[in-house]
């Protein structure tokens, strides 16, 4: 069934970075850990260091997973978007190229208890 609009539709995106008062949205996901249905959506400052993002946001969120305590953060594989990436832990998110609505994923190949 076709739809006919009576006037031009003008969509106004509400999730533009300008609407977050200097902060941004960042998605962070833990690959192969199905205890979490999808990546977490975090509200953070682009001036936060990557280390702070992990320590203050990611670690508390994943604590419910039985593998969380076993993570060796120095040996985690990272992806930004879908490409392998090595974050600079003490650089800011902006310096790491993690922008508004970026997806950052991490992989822990030896820790996959939820997947079997």
Asked whether the beta carbons of 46 and 93 are under 8 A apart, the reply is yes
CATH topology (fold) of 18-107: Ubiquitin-like (UB roll) (3.10.20)
Domain positions in the chain are 18-107
Banded pLDDT at 106 (limits 50, 70, 90): very high
Over residues 1-41, the pLDDT tens digits come to 777 778 888 888 899 999 999 999 999 999 988 888 899 99
| Distant-in-sequence, close-in-space partners of 11: CB < 8 Å, separation ≥ 6 | none
Q: Reduced to 3 states, what is the DSSP secondary structure of residue 1?
A: coil
Beta-sheet strand order (sheet of 24-30): 40-44, 24-30, 102-107, 77-80, 83-85
Alpha-helical segments (H) within the chain:
50-52, 59-62
pLDDT(114) > 70 = no
Over residues 34-92, the pLDDT tens digits come to 888 899 999 999 999 999 999 999 999 999 988 999 999 999 999 999 999 999 999 99
Report how far Cα 4 is from the mean position of its chain's Cα atoms: 38
Whole-prediction pTM? 0.86
Determine the pLDDT at residue 1.
72
């Amino acid at each position: 069934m076709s739809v006919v609009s009576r006037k031009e539709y003008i969509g106004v995106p509400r999730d533009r970075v300008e609407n977050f008062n200097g902060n941004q949205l960042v998605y962070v996901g833990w690959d192969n850990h199905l205890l979490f249905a999808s990546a977490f959506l975090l509200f953070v400052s682009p001036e936060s260091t990557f280390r702070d993002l992990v320590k203050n946001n990611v670690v508390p969120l994943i604590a419910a997973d039985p593998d969380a305590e076993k993570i060796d953060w120095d040996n985690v594989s990272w992806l930004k978007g879908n490409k392998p990436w090595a974050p600079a832990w003490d650089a800011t998110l902006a310096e790491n190229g993690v922008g508004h609505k970026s997806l950052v994923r991490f992989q822990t190949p030896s820790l996959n208890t939820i997947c079997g």
